[in-house]
Copies of this chain bind each other. A is one copy, B any other.
Amino acid sequence: MSKGLPKRSEDYSLWYNELVKKADLAENSAVRGCMVIKPYGYSIWEKMQAEIDRMFKETGHTNAYFPLFIPKSYLSKEADHVDGFAKECAVVTHYRLKNDEEGNGVVVDPEAKLEEELIVRPTSETIIWSTYKNWVQSYRDLPIMVNQWANVVRWEMRTRFFLRTTEFLWQEGHTAHATKQEAIDESVQMMNVYASFAEDFMAVPVVKGIKSESERFAGAIETYCIEALMQDGKALQAGTSHFLGQNFAKAFDVKFANREGGQDYVWGTSWGVSTRLMGALIMAHSDDQGLVLPPKLAPIQVVIVPIYKGEDQLNAISEKADGIIKALRAVGVSVKFDGRDTYKPGFKFAEWELKGVPVRIAIGPKDMENNSVEIARRDTGVKETFSLENDLTEKIQGLMEEIQNAIYQKAQDFRTENTRSVETYEEFKEVLENEGGFISAHWDGTAETEEKIKNETKATIRCIPIDAVEEEGKCIYTGKPSKVRALFAKAY
């Protein structure tokens, strides 16, 4: 088929872009920085959403919906928050268009100017905390455990499919608690939920950790995160969970009567993952032939391609396929039969490879004679002839699990190989230059040093891993004493 991809080794960035377009995941729209998520791409996102939403509900959360627009003045109520978001938000100033008298089509009606401009939410802490003020009077009203699935807008100058777009889809959880510890526990819990989702469903191993001050969310006391490593050795922040302290409660005056009869400010958290996860999924596993999808998130898990000459052969193969399809669907495997007569088998093979379908079953005349099928794995490319004397359903179910695990293992091996400890700044720069990946290094804990390293090398601190062990060391940059290693990398 003509849809050749660039090679990862030659131009990783171009490979990614072309893959997204050719596998029908997304495309650019007429609006700068906004993409169209195409049906195939969206069906993967839906599978992600369903699992994540289930995990949220199992941990006691419910969904709600808050307005798209936020009064401009709300943004400035939390000082750090406004600094973080004012520079990149879309502003609604008018509410009507009108026909231009000079005949130039429609123009903005100057008479329909808003008294206070509205911003399109870049994140919803402010509008949500202004609402929580009405929901909370006493400790009996706490905790509030709410999530919303929504679109948000952050005006981006340089965009990239899924990883950075002006509009993106996400979920944002916003919880309110009576005590500090409860809020911290919730932030940690949600980081763990994200990590489980990434590892168990996306098959992407992640490092759980805490952000340094300069990478922290604007308005948070602590930002927990999960960080993944892509095949080009760059890191990708896949989800964050923020302990907000009482910052937003104070900004919006959200107090409650505590058990002791006094008044306290409420403790908050917020946490989110977005369509960025699609970028992580694509980049973590795919190869020069196209997408490689973990079975648990593949919209089509098995594709059946008939190889035939003439209608009689097709009919016989279709009939055989029907039985297979029914049996597989009965155990929850999603199957597609590609009976299109406008394309040749080779074209179809390449197309389903491009789209990352985990298992392909081909049935040709020889298979019909021998009562067999050919099974091909997308992740390894390994093919085998399988006799239908044996239980195909069991075989496929086993394969689904095997592939899911194999993809994860491969990504984990890659990460292990590409996580290095260094002791000096020279070594640091050398590894970063030649190998990339995660670099574990001592750092003196100051934003100043972090900034200098970033300016000189483009590497940032991805996180201080949760499981980092205390050890005496010296900052690679300043030589000052350090007790724990940070994880550095160039990042998306």
B63–A46 CB distance below 8 A: yes
B68–A42 CB distance below 8 A: no
B37–A64 CB distance below 8 A: yes
Q: Does A386 lie at the interface of the complex (its beta carbon under 8 Å from any beta carbon of B)?
A: no
Q: Does A137 lie at the interface of the complex (its beta carbon under 8 Å from any beta carbon of B)?
A: no
Which one of A87-95, A217-225, A259-267, A452-460 is at the interface? Answer: A87-95
B134–A69 CB distance below 8 A: no
How many Å from the CB of A298 to the closest CB on chain B?
A: 15
A97–B118 CB distance below 8 A: no
B106–A82 CB distance below 8 A: yes
Chain B residues within 8 Å of A95, by CB:
88-91, 155
Contact of A65 (CB < 8 Å), options: B42, B93, B98: B42
How many Å from the CB of A72 to the closest CB on chain B?
A: 6
Closest Cβ neighbor of A140 among chain B residues: B342
Number of interface residues of A (CB under 8 A): 65
B108–A31 CB distance below 8 A: no
Q: Does A2 lie at the interface of the complex (its beta carbon under 8 Å from any beta carbon of B)?
A: no
Q: Does A146 lie at the interface of the complex (its beta carbon under 8 Å from any beta carbon of B)?
A: yes
Which of A35, A63, A71, A95: most chain B Cβ within 10 A?
A95
If A72-B106, A74-B30, A76-B106 touch, does A90 touch B67 (CB 8 Å cutoff)? no
Q: Does A39 lie at the interface of the complex (its beta carbon under 8 Å from any beta carbon of B)?
A: yes
Kindly state the separation between the CA atoms of A76 and B151 in the bound complex, as whole angstroms: 25
Q: Does A310 lie at the interface of the complex (its beta carbon under 8 Å from any beta carbon of B)?
A: no
Chain B residues within 8 Å of A89, by CB:
95-97
A30–B91 CB distance below 8 A: no
Chain B residues within 8 Å of A69, by CB:
31, 34, 90, 167
Q: How many of these chains are in the complex?
A: 2
Contact of A64 (CB < 8 Å), options: B36, B71, B76: B36
Closest Cβ neighbor of A95 among chain B residues: B155
Kindly state the separation between the CA atoms of A99 and B76 in the bound complex, as whole angstroms: 9
A63–B43 CB distance below 8 A: yes
If A29-B67, A43-B62, A62-B39 touch, does A75 touch B97 (CB 8 Å cutoff)? yes
A62–B91 CB distance below 8 A: no
Q: Does A153 lie at the interface of the complex (its beta carbon under 8 Å from any beta carbon of B)?
A: yes
B120–A31 CB distance below 8 A: no
Closest Cβ neighbor of A75 among chain B residues: B106
Q: Which of A35-91 contact B (CB under 8 A)?
A: 35-39, 41-43, 45-46, 62-76, 82, 86-91
If A96-B155, A134-B27 touch, does A68 touch B106 (CB 8 Å cutoff)? no
If A89-B96, A97-B87, A120-B92 touch, does A30 touch B106 (CB 8 Å cutoff)? no
A42–B66 CB distance below 8 A: no
Chain B residues within 8 Å of A108, by CB:
72, 91, 93, 117
Q: Does A130 lie at the interface of the complex (its beta carbon under 8 Å from any beta carbon of B)?
A: yes
Contact of A36 (CB < 8 Å), options: B29, B67, B72, B150: B67
Q: Does A127 lie at the interface of the complex (its beta carbon under 8 Å from any beta carbon of B)?
A: yes
Q: Does A105 lie at the interface of the complex (its beta carbon under 8 Å from any beta carbon of B)?
A: yes
How many Å from the CB of A182 to the closest CB on chain B?
A: 19
Q: Does A257 lie at the interface of the complex (its beta carbon under 8 Å from any beta carbon of B)?
A: no
Binary interface encoding of chain A residues 117-152 relative to chain B, with 1 for a CB under 8 A from any of its CBs, else 0: 111100000010011001000001000001000110
Chain B residues within 8 Å of A251, by CB:
none
Q: Does A324 lie at the interface of the complex (its beta carbon under 8 Å from any beta carbon of B)?
A: no
Q: Does A307 lie at the interface of the complex (its beta carbon under 8 Å from any beta carbon of B)?
A: no
Q: Does A406 lie at the interface of the complex (its beta carbon under 8 Å from any beta carbon of B)?
A: no
Chain B residues within 8 Å of A396, by CB:
none
Kindly state the separation between the CA atoms of A63 and B105 in the bound complex, as whole angstroms: 33
How many Å from the CB of A146 to the closest CB on chain B?
A: 6
Chain B residues within 8 Å of A35, by CB:
67
Closest Cβ neighbor of A340 among chain B residues: B140
Kindly state the separation between the CA atoms of A150 and B46 in the bound complex, as whole angstroms: 14
Contact of A94 (CB < 8 Å), options: B93, B151, B153: B93
Kindly state the separation between the CA atoms of A155 and B62 in the bound complex, as whole angstroms: 29
Q: Does A422 lie at the interface of the complex (its beta carbon under 8 Å from any beta carbon of B)?
A: no
Kindly state the separation between the CA atoms of A130 and B34 in the bound complex, as whole angstroms: 14
Closest Cβ neighbor of A41 among chain B residues: B64
If A30-B71, A38-B64, A70-B31 touch, does A97 touch B86 (CB 8 Å cutoff)? yes
How many Å from the CB of A152 to the closest CB on chain B?
A: 10
Chain B residues within 8 Å of A43, by CB:
62-63
Closest Cβ neighbor of A66 among chain B residues: B36
Binary interface encoding of chain A residues 173-198 relative to chain B, with 1 for a CB under 8 A from any of its CBs, else 0: 00000000000000000000000000
The 4 closest A-B CB pairs, nearest first, are A34-B67, A86-B97, A37-B65, A39-B62
Q: List 7 A-B contacts (CB under 8 A).
A: A31-B67, A31-B71, A39-B64, A69-B167, A82-B97, A88-B95, A140-B342
